[in-house]
């Protein structure tokens, strides 16, 4: 039971360090404007706090000249006071208008930078991060959580600062006029703070839960939207509704409880303020009638000219405390949002200790390599050594794995003792059942994940020494699930190499066999694609993916079920282009259709993360092993 109580208290606690971090960002990016805004807020708060001083002076002046009826003398005192108050209020209004404009500008600037920091850091996160977090939940960081921070920067911080200054100013004025009445007000405030902590704590806890539930709900909606075809083809609509009802119900309950406590807090504080107002009037009257000595900084006797302004100050004091208490919920939501936003910005980027880079090179007839600043069409690995020397190794596409072990989870190995050799220009194929480890091998070549044991060498260099960006630049990848981006067909092909010319992109499309259907599109290569190319067939999308890899012109190609979504007729077109694409390159092919791997130099049969057979098509057929059974249909890959 104690564990649950401790956990409950922990969930109520607001991490104000996150709020402090947001404030630091304000003064980091907008030091001058943030300082000016703060000054304007403080000035307007002080001006709104001082009317009781004027009111006390006016009442005292009227009382002084009431018996003599010397209204001219009274006016000579009152009119300058009122004029000064009007001037101060006018300046205060100007300050409020200016600081609200500045606040809007600063707020949007901070949100822009936070979104930018999240997105920039997200680009360099390891693939494991996206394995652990759903896309919908990450999307909620950019929407709900950012909006919660917007609320606290644009509204809550100014209100809290203004109300705090008013409270402190009013408290000082109270002490100036009557310490006894001030202590009574502070006693009432203590009760109000206790109520705020009790009710507001529960509210904050559920507002934090609401943020998390909202992320889950949005994630589920996005998942169902992406899978609408699957939902409909399996008549899964009713089950999807039931599943949505479950996450929506959780969001409803958290939101309902959060707003129930939040809506309770305001009226409670307001009525406690009204009770305190009455108590001040009663106690002040009793002290005045009984002529109790007044304890104050001013030394004035307690009278009507003090009690009436004191009542106004009590209203102002409790009203601003109520304002602050109402902001607790927004602070809690912002803290929850900031926690998730900063968790993403603080997430450690993909580790890369590589120091071997890929450079343009000139290779002479004798094999000597020199680095070039110009694009030469030839590449070399630039390898600095500890003694200060440099060596250049021509990029050839020689890939070798030695005794490699790997598991996505440490206690669940996927690959066991994998050893393979792919010499430059060789075509190496992987076949085996789903889950045998075929795609995992290609993930390791790209260093999307790092191996647990063994070594992988690329042109004789340990790939851990090669910078990941340079390693991946030398590898072309065509996945089974094609990912196209919003933009033109030409933009999607050029994604493979951003400096590629239109002519190079068209040549790559012709090589892959995509040119024939592209030229039939309404705007040809300038046809706009959206929704991951939903206006194209699956086969056409795959052809574009192959063209995108072709324009990158890498020495090593990885084709992960690259023709799985293409019909037999289209496959023959693609295969001719693929044959041209594979000339002179090292190619790794993963395929279920054995017809696509028959002409491979080496075919490796995997089973449960182990290579159980290797050899050419003819060699494996002669062995009458697993490959032979697959080829003859004795059993299926699955």
Domain count along the chain: 3
pLDDT, average across residues 64-69: 65
In whole angstroms, give the CA distance from residue 224 to residue 231.
8
Report the range of poorest mean pLDDT among 166-180, 193-207, 576-590, 594-608: 193-207
In whole angstroms, give the CA distance from residue 597 to residue 590.
8
In whole angstroms, give the CA distance from residue 43 to residue 95.
8
Of the candidates 422, 434, 482, the residue with the CA atom closest to the CA atom of residue 458: 422
Has residue 328 been placed in a domain?
yes
Residue 192, helix vs strand vs coil: helix
Residues 88 and 224 occupy one common structural domain: yes
pTM of this structure: 0.75
pLDDT, average across residues 247-262: 82
Has residue 6 been placed in a domain?
no
pLDDT, average across residues 477-501: 85
By the 8 A CB rule, do 343 and 133 touch? Answer: no
Has residue 9 been placed in a domain?
no
Please list the alpha-helical segments (H only) found in 495-561.
502-512, 515-518, 538-552
> Is residue 80 very low, low, confident or very high in pLDDT (cuts 50, 70, 90)?
confident
pLDDT, average across residues 385-406: 90
Q: Which residues, in sequence order, are CB contacts of 300 under 8 Å at separation 6+?
A: 177, 294, 306
pLDDT, average across residues 99-107: 91
Other CB atoms within a 10 A radius of the CB of residue 552 amount to: 18
Residues 602 and 554 occupy one common structural domain: yes
Of the candidates 244, 247, 226, 312, the residue with the CA atom closest to the CA atom of residue 51: 312
pLDDT, average across residues 628-638: 67
Residue 447, helix vs strand vs coil: coil
pLDDT averaged over every residue in the chain: 82
Residues 387 and 405 occupy one common structural domain: no
pLDDT on residue 188: 85
pLDDT, average across residues 299-321: 81
Residues 387 and 518 occupy one common structural domain: no
Has residue 208 been placed in a domain?
yes
Has residue 42 been placed in a domain?
yes
pLDDT, average across residues 464-476: 90
Residues 324 and 368 occupy one common structural domain: no
In a 13 Å sphere around the CA of 169, the CA atoms on its Cβ side amount to 20
Report the range of poorest mean pLDDT among 57-71, 187-201, 348-362: 57-71
Q: What domain range includes position 516? A: 399-632
pLDDT on residue 20: 84
Q: For residue 215, is pLDDT > 90?
A: no
Report the range of poorest mean pLDDT among 49-58, 85-94, 331-340, 398-407: 49-58
Backbone phi and psi for residue 634, each to the nearest 5 degrees, phi listed first: -65, -35
The CATH number given to whatever domain includes residue 318 is 1.20.1560.10
Q: For residue 436, is pLDDT > 50?
A: yes
What tokens appear for 221 in the block?
């909606």
Of the candidates 354, 387, 357, the residue with the CA atom closest to the CA atom of residue 371: 357
What tokens appear for 208 in the block?
């934090």
CA distances from 555 to 41, 241, 547, 558 (A): 63, 49, 15, 10
Please list the alpha-helical segments (H only) found in 178-236.
179-226, 228-233
Has residue 1 been placed in a domain?
no
> Is residue 503 very low, low, confident or very high in pLDDT (cuts 50, 70, 90)?
very high
Q: For residue 10, is pLDDT > 60?
A: no
In whole angstroms, give the CA distance from residue 289 to residue 286.
5
Could you tell me which residues are beta bridge partners of residue 461? 458
Residues 407 and 481 occupy one common structural domain: yes
Residues 365 and 253 occupy one common structural domain: no
In whole angstroms, give the CA distance from residue 389 to residue 37.
57
- Give per-residue pLDDT as tens, 109-127: 999 999 999 999 998 888 8
In a 13 Å sphere around the CA of 266, the CA atoms on its Cβ side amount to 8
Backbone phi and psi for residue 559, each to the nearest 5 degrees, phi listed first: -115, 100
In whole angstroms, give the CA distance from residue 23 to residue 335.
12
By the 8 A CB rule, do 336 and 205 touch? Answer: no
Q: How far is CA 524 from the centre of its chain?
A: 36
The more confidently predicted of residues 104 and 2 is: 104
Q: What is the DSSP string of 34-60?
A: HHHHHHHHHHHHHHHH-HHHHHHHHHH
Measured CA angle at 423 (ends 422, 426), to 5 deg: 80
Residues 51 and 133 occupy one common structural domain: yes
Residues 212 and 154 occupy one common structural domain: yes
Residues 361 and 292 occupy one common structural domain: no
Measured CA angle at 439 (ends 433, 443), to 5 deg: 160
By the 8 A CB rule, do 157 and 23 touch? Answer: yes
Backbone phi and psi for residue 344, each to the nearest 5 degrees, phi listed first: -75, -45
In whole angstroms, give the CA distance from residue 557 to residue 587.
5
Q: For residue 638, is pLDDT > 80?
A: no
Residues 549 and 484 occupy one common structural domain: yes
Percentage of the chain surpassing pLDDT 70? 89
> Is residue 471 very low, low, confident or very high in pLDDT (cuts 50, 70, 90)?
very high
Has residue 582 been placed in a domain?
yes
pLDDT, average across residues 346-373: 88
Report the range of poorest mean pLDDT among 111-120, 398-407, 545-554: 545-554
pLDDT on residue 485: 84
Residues 379 and 280 occupy one common structural domain: no
Backbone phi and psi for residue 300, each to the nearest 5 degrees, phi listed first: -75, 145
377: left (phi over 0), alpha (psi -120 to 50) or beta: left
pLDDT on residue 14: 53
Has residue 8 been placed in a domain?
no
Strands 610-615 and 415-422: unpaired
403: left (phi over 0), alpha (psi -120 to 50) or beta: left
In whole angstroms, give the CA distance from residue 522 to residue 516.
13
By the 8 A CB rule, do 605 and 431 touch? Answer: yes
pLDDT on residue 15: 62
pLDDT, average across residues 15-40: 87
Q: What is the DSSP string of 378-416?
A: -EEEEEE-TTS-EEEEE----EEEEEEEE-SBTTB--EE
The CATH number given to whatever domain includes residue 519 is 3.40.50.300
In whole angstroms, give the CA distance from residue 573 to residue 583.
16
pLDDT, average across residues 421-444: 87
pLDDT on residue 42: 92
Report the range of poorest mean pLDDT among 37-41, 151-155, 293-297: 293-297
């Amino acid at each position: 039971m104690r564990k649950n109580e401790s956990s409950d208290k922990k969930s109520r606690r607001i991490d104000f360090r996150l709020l402090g971090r947001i404030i630091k960002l304000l003064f980091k990016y907008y030091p001058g404007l943030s300082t000016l805004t703060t000054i304007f807020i403080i000035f307007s708060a002080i001006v709104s706090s001082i009317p009781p001083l004027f009111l006390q002076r006016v009442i005292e002046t009227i009382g002084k000249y009431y018996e003599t009826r010397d209204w001219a003398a009274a006016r000579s005192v009152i009119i300058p006071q009122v004029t000064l108050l009007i001037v101060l209020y006018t300046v205060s209004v100007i300050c409020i208008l200016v600081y609200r404009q500045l606040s809007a500008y600063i707020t949007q600037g901070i949100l822009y930078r936070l979104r930018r920091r999240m997105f920039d850091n997200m680009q360099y996160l390891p693939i494991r991060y996206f394995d652990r977090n759903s896309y919908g939940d990450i999307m909620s960081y950019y929407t709900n959580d950012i909006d919660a921070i917007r609320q606290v920067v644009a509204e809550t911080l100014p209100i809290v600062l203004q109300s705090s200054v008013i409270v402190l100013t009013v408290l000082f004025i109270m002490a100036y006029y009557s310490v006894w009445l001030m202590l009574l007000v502070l006693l009432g405030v203590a009760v109000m703070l206790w109520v705020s902590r009790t009710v507001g704590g529960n509210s904050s806890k559920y507002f934090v839960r609401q943020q998390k539930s909202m992320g889950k709900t949005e994630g589920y909606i996005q998942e169902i939207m992406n899978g609408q075809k699957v939902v409909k083809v399996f008549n899964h609509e009713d089950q999807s509704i039931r599943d949505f009802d479950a996450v929506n119900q959780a969001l409803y309950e958290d939101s309902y409880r959060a707003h129930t406590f939040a809506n309770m807090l305001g009226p409670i504080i307001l009525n406690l303020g009204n009770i305190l107002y009455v108590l001040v009037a009663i106690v002040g009257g009793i002290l005045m009638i009984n002529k109790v000595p007044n304890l104050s900084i001013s030394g004035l006797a307690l009278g009507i000219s003090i009690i009436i302004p004191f009542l106004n100050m009590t209203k102002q004091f409790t009203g601003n405390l109520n304002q602050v208490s109402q902001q607790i919920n927004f602070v809690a939501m912002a803290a929850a949002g900031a926690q998730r936003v900063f968790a993403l910005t603080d997430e450690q980027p993909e580790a890369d200790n590589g120091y071997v880079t890929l450079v343009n090179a000139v290779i002479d007839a004798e094999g000597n390599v020199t680095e070039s600043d110009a694009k030469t069409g030839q590449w070399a690995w630039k390898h600095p050594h500890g003694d200060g020397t440099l060596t250049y190794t021509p990029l050839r596409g020689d890939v070798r794995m030695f005794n490699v072990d790997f598991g996505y989870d440490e206690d669940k190995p996927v690959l066991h003792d994998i050893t393979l050799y792919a010499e430059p220009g060789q075509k190496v194929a992987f076949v085996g059942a789903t889950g045998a480890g075929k795609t995992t091998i290609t993930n390791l070549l790209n260093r999307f994940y790092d191996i647990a044991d063994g070594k992988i060498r690329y042109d004789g260099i340990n790939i851990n020494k090669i910078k990941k960006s340079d390693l991946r630049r030398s590898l072309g990848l065509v996945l089974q699930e094609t990912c196209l981006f919003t933009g033109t067909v030409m933009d999607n092909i050029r994604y493979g190499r951003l400096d590629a010319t239109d002519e190079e992109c068209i040549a790559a499309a012709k090589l892959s066999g995509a040119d024939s259907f592209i030229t039939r599109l309404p705007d040809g290569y300038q046809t706009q694609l959206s929704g991951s190319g939903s206006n194209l067939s699956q086969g056409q999308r795959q052809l574009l993916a192959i063209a995108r890899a072709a324009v990158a012109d890498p020495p090593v190609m990885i084709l992960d079920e690259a023709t799985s979504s293409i019909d037999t007729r289209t496959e023959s077109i693609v295969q001719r282009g693929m044959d041209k694409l594979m000339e002179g390159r090292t190619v790794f092919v993963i395929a279920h259709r054995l017809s696509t791997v028959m002409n491979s130099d080496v075919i490796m049969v995997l089973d449960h993360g182990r290579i159980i057979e290797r050899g050419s098509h003819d060699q494996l057929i002669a062995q009458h092993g697993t490959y032979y059974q697959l080829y003859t249909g004795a059993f299926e890959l699955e």
